[in-house]
Structures are given as C-alpha cells and as structure tokens.
Amino acid sequence: MRTMLPPLLAMLLVAPLTAPAQWQPEVRLTNNTAESITCFNNARGIATSGTAVHAVWHDSRDGAPEIYYKRSTDGGLTWGSDRRLTQDGSWSERPSVATCGSVVHVAWYDGRLGPPRIFHKRSPDNGVTWEPDVCLTPDAGVGYHPCVAACRSMVHVVWTDMSAGPQIYHARSTDFGVTWGAARNITPDAPAAGKNLAAVAVADSIVHVTWTDSRSVPRIYYTRSSDHGVTWEPGRGITPMPSQFASVAVSSATVHVAYADFREGEGSPRIYFTRSMDSGTNWSTETPLAEAFASWYPSVAAAGATVHTIWLDNRHGDVSEIYARSSLDDGMSWGPETRLTTHPAESREPSLAVFGNEAHVVWNDDRDGNWEIYYMRGAMAVLGLEGGRPGGAISSLLQVGPNPSAGPVLLRYELPSSSEVFLEVFGPSGARVCRLSQGPQAAGLHEIRWDGRDAMGQAVPSGVYLTRIVCDGVCMSGRVVVAR
C-alpha cells in the first residue's frame, strides 16, 4: 500500500524507543503518619487514559480507613493533591479503579450498612468532580475485594460475596455507571466454598473473570460472558493445581492471566503466565515468568501485542521487592526480569496500568516507618528489554498526518532491511481499534492509510488516538487527534 505524501501535509514526529528499560525515579504519593494501603493484585489501584493517570488507596489519616484518590494530568510526571472520596463515618477499604475516556470508576467495600458491602463512585470529568456513592451489594450480601473494568458505556464490577458461600458476584452498568442492574452470582454451578479474589477485564462485548477457587486444591478458575454480562458460561479451571492470586488483562481477542503457582510447595510460589488467543475458548500451556521460587501477587496489563507483568518477590530475603517482565509479541516470548524497587524496606501489593507507550505502577512501602503509596513510570515498549537497536529496526521516524484529522490519516516509516512489522491504532481508552499491518515487509519507505475506522468498519469518534509500530523489538508511537 503506497501513496505519495502531499508536500504540505502536517506531520507528527515521534522518536523511536530504542534505549534499555527506561524507568523513571519512584515518586512518593502520600505523606502522613497513618497507613496508606493499595488493593490486592486481583484488582487495580491505578488506571490511565491518555495523559490522565488515576491512583486510589485506603488511608487511616482521619481515624478509620477511608478511600483516597490522586491524579496526574501529564502522564504521571506531576501529581495533584490527595482527595478523600468516602465521607460515610464508617470504614472503607481496598479500592479498585478503572477508566474509559474521561469517566473514572472506583469500587471498594465498607461497613456503613453493617456487614461489608460493595460501593461504586464515578467521576464524569477525569476526576475533577465526583458523584454520590452507590451500593451494589444485595440487601443480604456481604461483599469483599471488588475489581472494576469499563469499556465504552459498559461498567463491570466483580467481588467475593460471603452470604452464600463464598461465591463470585457481578454487577453491571450500561450507562457509564450512572445506574446499575441487580447484582447476581455468576458461579452458581460451583460448590459454595473457597472462591475469592475475582478479577475482571473487558473487550467490547466479552467480559472475562478469573478467581481463586478452593473447591479441592486452590486453582485459578475462569468464566466469560459474550453478551456484555447478561449470561455467563460455567466456570472452569485454567491452571494446574495448586495456584492462586490471578490477575487478568485483555487486548482484542487475546486474554492474559498471570498467577502464583505453588507446585514446588506452599513456601515456594512462582509467577506463571497463560493466555488465550481466541477470547477465552482455549488456553496455552503455562509459562514461568519469575526466575525465583519466592514470588506472588502479580498484576498484568496489555496494550496491543505488548504485555507487562509485575509481582512481589522476596528472593533477597524476608523483604519483598517489585519485579517486572514484558513481552512484545502477545505473551509468546518474554524479555528478562527487571527489579523495580531496591530500598531495604518492604514493597507490597503493586498494581499496573498501561496506555500507549507508557506503564504506571503503584504500591505501598514502609520505608518511612509506616505504609505510604509510591509510584513509578516507565516506557512501556522497552520494559525489561536489553541492548540498543536490533538489526532490521526502523530507521526513520514514524510520521502521522494530517493532525488533527477529520478523515483518512497517512502513516509513513522506512525499514533498512526486511522485517516483521506490527502497525496498530489504539483508542482513547487504550483498547486496540484496528491492526493496519502485520507480517514481513521489505526494506524501504512504506506509507499506509488509516481510513479512521475500527476493525468492524465503523467510523471512530473524536478523540486522541495512538498509532504504534513494532518492528524487531523496537517500538515507535505517534498521536493523532480525530476531530469529526
């Protein structure tokens, strides 16, 4: 596909990411004498869309634990002030956050109604203003450890409900979290015992849920809904036994699950990874990610063909540190491990979010004598990769134009030699809109036209879109504004 680029066409030039792993220095997000704690690995304490990054945690600075929120509007470079989201006079813990476009969703559990119940709160304007809390748990419910995911107008929350089991419950909203349908048990076929730490990910109409199931030996179970959460398939085990603490992510039809495997014994957990390339129908043989048998609580995130996993690891003794590993080919192969924290204090319960070519991590850390929230930002395309530009990499800048555009966009790049190329477009939510090219390409100048439509042929709405090319382990990205 080749056309001549008009001489007056506006261009957006973005330099290639070719250096080794580029993690910026960690940033302390909280500063008070009380404990500040993030959520477990099944949920996420951080979310991002475009340049907005949102972090949540619970904090006891006011006496009882309350839900707090902080945001960055420049991709994690600088952060605003802490904001307390709960004001109910009770206790509130373990928040999970998700975002789609400018709408931010937070779910947590608290004791304002007696037994713990699941609550949801949303901001329609990227965290500037917040609407009232909404209880999602049935009147007789007892809810713990929620996880929230959003895709366009659909919002899904899953949690452990203790009133009948425990079982895994699900509630959904079809109008960006304004109103909610009734919560219901999505694991009714399973024995009412030992189900906990549910995680949810969504891509278009398909909702993916994992949890730890202890009906015999602990194992990761999975279910999905192909109709926005209306009906659900029976749950099934997707990992060997014993295994726990799963985190799930999805990019298009590829579902990624990272978890802790205990096959070497209860005291020797190790992070493993499995994936499905067909939206959860079939699952690959598990792959070990951590080199040490002292790793647990992973968090996984994906954007296009790039997948990242972080986890806790105490290979250096009793103090746990955070490690990371990444894949540029949908989890088929993985780069080396990268140790993210090196302070002699404890680092725990990390969460990972990605958007475009950036990765964001939050965790809680006791280096200051009490638990505080820390944050780290990295260049997503090269996390965990070693060395410089590999042979056959892209030799010139990725060019995207016109920008802004009300119609088609031309993308231009040059290859010094024949190479395997992935060229994709991602939307404001971070989800892949379409893949423009995949496969081997000859050396020379290439120009490809994006018609402003998604993979289904529908015109995309106005917003900021990411164009990304991956070639022989090197990634370049550019942003184009679609203005209808």
Phi, psi (rounded to 5 degrees) for 382: -125, 15
* Structural domain includes residue 409: yes
Q: Which of 363, 382, 401 is the last residue of a domain?
A: 382
Residue 14 predicted with pLDDT over 60: no
Question: Rounded mean pLDDT of 415-439?
Answer: 79
Residue 1 predicted with pLDDT over 80: no
What is the pLDDT, as a whole number, of residue 193? Answer: 72
- 371 with 246, same domain? yes
Phi, psi (rounded to 5 degrees) for 275: -145, 160
Sheet holding 167-173, edge to edge: 143-151, 154-161, 167-173, 184-185
- 125 with 45, same domain? yes
- 455 with 320, same domain? no
* Structural domain includes residue 260: yes
Other residues' Cβ atoms within 10 Å of the Cβ of residue 181: 13
CA-CA distance, 71 to 76, in Å (whole number)?
A: 8
Name the one residue in this structure whose structure tokens are 């540029």.
328
Name the token pair of 188.
């009714």
- 396 with 288, same domain? no
Q: 446: pLDDT confidence band, cut at 50, 70 and 90?
A: confident
Q: 333: pLDDT confidence band, cut at 50, 70 and 90?
A: confident
Return the minimum-mean-pLDDT range out of 65-74, 312-321, 395-404, 445-454: 395-404
Distance of CA 183 to the CA centre of its chain: 24
- 121 with 219, same domain? yes
What is the pLDDT, as a whole number, of residue 472? Answer: 61
Q: What angle do CA 260, 265, 266 make, to 5 degrees?
A: 65
Q: Which of 358, 382, 406 is the last residue of a domain?
A: 382
- Does residue 213 sit in helix, strand or coil? strand
- 413 with 325, same domain? no
What is the pLDDT, as a whole number, of residue 392? Answer: 40
Q: Give the model confidence (pLDDT) of 252-269 as tens digits.
A: 899 999 999 999 998 899
Q: Give the model confidence (pLDDT) of 264-290 as tens digits.
A: 998 899 999 999 999 999 999 999 999
In terms of residue numbers, what domain contains 422?
388-482
Q: 7: pLDDT confidence band, cut at 50, 70 and 90?
A: very low
Percent of the chain's residues with pLDDT above 70: 89
What is the pLDDT, as a whole number, of residue 445? Answer: 85
Q: Give the model confidence (pLDDT) of 166-177 as tens digits.
A: 999 999 999 999
Question: Rounded mean pLDDT of 324-349?
Answer: 88
What is the pLDDT, as a whole number, of residue 54? Answer: 98
* Structural domain includes residue 1: no
Rounded to whole angstroms, the maximal C-alpha distance in the chain is: 68
DSSP 442: -
- Does residue 421 sit in helix, strand or coil? strand
Residue 357 predicted with pLDDT over 90: no
CA-CA distance, 327 to 299, in Å (whole number)?
A: 14
Question: Rounded mean pLDDT of 140-164?
Answer: 95
- 356 with 393, same domain? no
- Does residue 342 sit in helix, strand or coil? coil
In order, the DSSP letters of 6-21 are PTT---EEE--B-SS-
CA-CA distance, 205 to 187, in Å (whole number)?
A: 20
Q: Give the model confidence (pLDDT) of 367-413 as tens digits.
A: 988 999 999 998 644 333 333 333 344 444 466 778 788 888 888 88
- 433 with 377, same domain? no
Q: Which of 350, 382, 414 is the last residue of a domain?
A: 382
What is the pLDDT, as a whole number, of residue 398? Answer: 62
Tally of residues, the chain:
484
Nearest to 133 by CA among 123, 142, 147: 123
Residue 12 predicted with pLDDT over 60: no
- 353 with 436, same domain? no
* Structural domain includes residue 344: yes
Supply the mean pLDDT for the chain: 86
Beta bridge partners of 110: 92, 117
318 versus 48: the higher-pLDDT residue is 48
CA-CA distance, 433 to 454, in Å (whole number)?
A: 5
Q: Give the model confidence (pLDDT) of 225-256 as tens digits.
A: 999 999 999 999 999 989 999 999 999 899 99
Name the token pair of 440.
């081997």
- 413 with 301, same domain? no
Domain count, the chain: 2
What is the pLDDT, as a whole number, of residue 42? Answer: 85
Question: Rounded mean pLDDT of 417-421?
Answer: 79
Name the one residue in this structure whose structure tokens are 């529908």.
458
Query: Quick one: 280 exposed, middle or buried, by C-beta within 10 A (0-12, 13-18, 19+)?
Result: buried
CATH (domain of 173): 2.120.10.10
- 356 with 392, same domain? no
What is the pLDDT, as a whole number, of residue 332? Answer: 84
Nearest to 474 by CA among 403, 401, 410, 379: 379
Percent of the chain's residues with pLDDT above 90: 58
What is the pLDDT, as a whole number, of residue 239? Answer: 96
* Structural domain includes residue 13: no
What is the pLDDT, as a whole number, of residue 476? Answer: 67
300 versus 424: the higher-pLDDT residue is 300
How many Cα atoms within 13 Å fall on the side-chain side of residue 264? Answer: 13
Q: Give the model confidence (pLDDT) of 57-97 as tens digits.
A: 999 999 999 999 999 999 999 999 999 999 988 999 999 99
The one-letter amino acid code at 39 reads C
The one-letter amino acid code at 184 reads R
Question: Rounded mean pLDDT of 101-128?
Answer: 97
Contacts of 68-77 with C-beta under 8 Å, sequence gap 24+, read 68/30, 68/36, 69/97, 69/106, 69/127, 70/29, 70/373, 71/126, 71/127, 73/126, 75/48, 75/51, 75/358, 75/377, 76/27, 76/48, 76/358, 76/360, 76/375, 76/377, 77/377
CATH (domain of 404): 2.60.40.4070
- Does residue 389 sit in helix, strand or coil? coil
CA-CA distance, 68 to 86, in Å (whole number)?
A: 8
60 versus 192: the higher-pLDDT residue is 60
